[in-house]
Amino acid sequence: MNYSDPHLVDRLASAYVLGTLSGAARRRFERLQRDRADVQLAVTRWESRLGSLSVHVPPVRPSPRVWAAIAACTTPAAATAHAAPAGWLRPAGFGLGALAAGVLAASALFMAVPTLFLSADQAAMRSGERLPQSYVGLLSDAQGNGKLLVSSLRHGRTMTVKVIGPIAAPPPGQRLVLWALPAEGPPFVLGTAPTAGTAVSQLPASSEQLLSRVSKLAVTLEATDKPATPGPALFTGNCAKLW
């Protein structure tokens, strides 16, 4: 499976948040999520997008039969002897089977993905810590294949560039140069990009100073580390604020 494809990552993130990604596929995705900021960002966006749906869902008090069905699925048989009395709050106008199925699905979804019902800011809280405020860019080629992940702390002065898809080595005397493309103003060089692994480089100023008005990033093939103007773009991507 090509995990460098941003469209595939987005589909997997949506299935993960909905709870439909299960078994070995879910475990693989969780391992991927721990290591890649672009996957974390995709999950956070889906949690934020779908979390707002809970605001429009009216509360429903389930019948004792629903609680008994949940108990039967989650606890030993002996524990179900303490279920609520059979006559408690019988719902009118609802099919019990459909209601039970809906409540069971909602309960399972909440248990599997509790952050689904949190705000985007709260969804960024994982393992008791907030994801650091960062600028992040996912650069792809013309076919949409993910190639580079660029990240830098909001007030940091270093930039990390990680290769997430195969990149051919440039010809002798050539190198990959990473550009910032502001919404207004000329492009400027951020540094060079590797063709494998991860590279960390120093920035001339903080990311906030350099990238606050930058909407896109691009990589070009150049003969020098600091060309005056960019050549044709090999890879491009949005520059996103992760906070």
| pLDDT tens digits, 47-72 | 766 655 555 556 667 778 877 887 77
CA-based nearest residue to 83, from 68, 62, 61: 68
User: Using CA atoms, how far apart are residues 219 and 239, in angstroms rounded to an integer?
Assistant: 13
Which tokens go with 133? 């405020």
| pLDDT tens digits, 225-241 | 999 999 999 999 999 88
What pLDDT, on a 0 to 100 scale, did the predictor assign at position 187? 96
> What residue spans define the domains of the chain?
1-130, 134-242
**Cβ distance 123 to 48 under 8 Å?**
yes
CA-based nearest residue to 62, from 113, 7, 106, 114: 106
Residues with Cβ within 8 Å of 236's Cβ and at least 6 positions away in sequence, in order, are 139, 140, 216, 217, 218, 219
User: Using CA atoms, how far apart are residues 89 and 64, in angstroms rounded to an integer?
Assistant: 8
What pLDDT, on a 0 to 100 scale, did the predictor assign at position 113? 45
| pLDDT tens digits, 134-144 | 898 989 999 98
Q: Which CATH fold topology does 134-242 show?
A: Immunoglobulin-like (2.60.40)
**Cβ distance 234 to 176 under 8 Å?**
yes
Which tokens go with 95? 């099919």
